[in-house]
Amino acid sequence: MNIERLSQRRQRGFTLVEIAIVLVIVGLLIGGVLKGREMITNAKIKRIENDFAGVSAALYAYQDRYGVLPGDDPAASTRFPGTWRSSDNGNGNGNINGGWSSRNNNAESRKIWKHLRGAGLISGPVDNTAASYQQPTNAFGGLTGIDLDLYNMGGHNIVFGEIPGDIAVILESRGDDSVPNSGSIQASASATSYDVDARYDLAFRQ
């Protein structure tokens, strides 16, 4: 008889209450993970917006102090302490040339970062190593840079590379017209809508 009862106890499954408790716990765990991801994504979006404001402020501060744009400054090598070459100077024509994603340290769009570091407006070394010209990395892993007349925007633009399409849509909706080829935030010269599965080099009008 005792063996029979023991066998019946072993065959007993979970009760509905136990299953319900497990499902609630699983639901809470999934909800917590999703909420955590949402918070991380929102923090990254905010960082992009803050980086745009920060780089803009640094550009304006440099121009206000020295009367020229960083990167284009023809006297940067004599203004600041550190190690400089004469080729670190810009040509003083009022434009930051070279393309935002240039890897050429002689391009003004790369010199800009050394000029800003020399002025103490952003952190980093001021010497002849690659780190002096290094572009900042944005919250989504791409580079941040400066371009001239990119897409359908005139003037200088701050560009954030490799932005996921769904994030570009959010940034557009928060600050512009949600169209990638018009307005003050653009990601294309021709596309009229975003592909949420694509990545974009997102430009903000300076």
The string of pLDDT tens digits covering residues 103-112 is: 999 999 999 9
pLDDT band of 33, cuts 50, 70, 90 = confident
**In three state form, how does the secondary structure of 50-76 look?**
HHHHHHHHHHHHHHHHHCCCCCCCCCH
The string of pLDDT tens digits covering residues 49-97 is: 999 999 999 999 999 999 999 999 999 999 999 999 999 999 999 999 9
Output the pTM of the full model: 0.83
Kindly tell me if the per-residue pLDDT of 2 is higher than 60: no
Kindly tell me if the per-residue pLDDT of 19 is higher than 60: yes
Give all strands of the β-sheet with 199-205 in edge-to-edge order. 144-148, 156-164, 199-205, 185-186
Tokens (6 digits) for 21: 């408790």
Kindly tell me if the per-residue pLDDT of 20 is higher than 80: no
Tokens (6 digits) for 150: 């990119």
Pair 77, 89: CB distance under 8 Å: yes
Q: What is the pLDDT of residue 87?
A: 96
Kindly tell me if the per-residue pLDDT of 11 is higher than 60: no
The string of pLDDT tens digits covering residues 177-193 is: 999 999 999 999 999 99
The string of pLDDT tens digits covering residues 116-153 is: 999 999 999 999 999 999 999 999 999 999 999 999 99
